Structure 1
Amino acid sequence: MKNFTKELTYKTSRSSGAGGQNVNKVETAVTVMWNPSETAHFSAEEIELISQKLKNRINLEGILQLTVSESRTQLQNKKIATEKVIELVNKALIKPKIRKPTKPSKRQVEKRIQTKKQLSEKKENRKFRF
């Protein structure tokens, strides 16, 4: 987990929702912005991985944007936004294990066929005969 929080930029805007009369005056919603291609904390491979996995959240200028207006305070929203960006980037850097294709053992195949035969016999015995 690398600390790239110094590269984040913040922009505030008026938030909708709870807040009473204050909601029309105070800019509590926080938009956090980060450009992964201009970071000094990640290798080129990691930047490519981040860009690939978060392509739906990265705009045409190549900036990762996230807006938070969960809390009534700007400071709390800023904290939440920072945590969410860090979490997103950390999840994007996780490489899934490569699946190795396997075959069922002879015993498993035999057991499956045997079970199918038993079921078939059971159903065959249910038929009405004259």
Structure 2
Amino acid sequence: MVLHRNFIPELTFTATRSSGAGGQNVNKVNTKVELRFHVESSKLLSQEEKNVLMRKLANRMNKEGELILTEQNERSQLKNKEKVIDRFYRLINWALIPQKRRKATRPTLASRHRRLENKKQHSEKKSRRQNPRLD
């Protein structure tokens, strides 16, 4: 489990002004926190874990291989920093949980009968919509 590892020394934080409404607090105070984590240079992850993270979190990384997360919902920089760190750990844990392989199964006899019965009902419904034949 990743939660037992301390990634804080490998994280880089920057604070900027938040966007959106908020009045003077938004205009004057740097409360938005951006977290950057360079996956390839991490000393706490094995090469296999790095490969998994690079594959699963590719859409959240820049060209240099940095995982970037931001938080700006709170009015306090400290709260935003705590939230983004929590989100980082949850994201890393989610990415490193191995997915179970799906076992292929065959449809049961009952499910095949239900499928065919539904097809018959659907066919009858469609045929009732047609104009009656005059033979």
Please tell me the TM-score bracket, short chain as reference.
0.7 to 0.9
Partner of 1:34: 37
Runs of 5+ consecutive residues of structure 1 not aligned to the other structure:
none
TM norm structure 1: 0.79
- Percentage of identical aligned residues: 43
- Residue 115 of structure 1: how far off its partner (Å): 5.2
CA distance change for structure 1 residues 114 and 14 in 2, over 3 Å: closer, same or farther? closer
Q: Report how many residues are paired.
A: 126
- Residue 56 of structure 1: how far off its partner (Å): 0.3
CA RMSD of aligned residues (A): 2.8
Partner of 2:48: 45
1:92 equivalent in alignment to 2:95: yes
Q: Would you identify which runs of 4 or more consecutive aligned residues in structure 1 move more than 2 Å? A: 17-20, 107-116
1:56 equivalent in alignment to 2:59: yes
* C-alpha separation in 2, matches of 1:31 and 1:40: 21
* C-alpha separation in 2, matches of 1:114 and 1:85: 48
* C-alpha separation in 2, matches of 1:92 and 1:34: 15
TM norm structure 2: 0.76
- Residue 65 of structure 1: how far off its partner (Å): 0.6
Greater Cα shift, 87-96 or 47-56: 87-96
1:23 equivalent in alignment to 2:26: yes
- Residue 94 of structure 1: how far off its partner (Å): 1.6
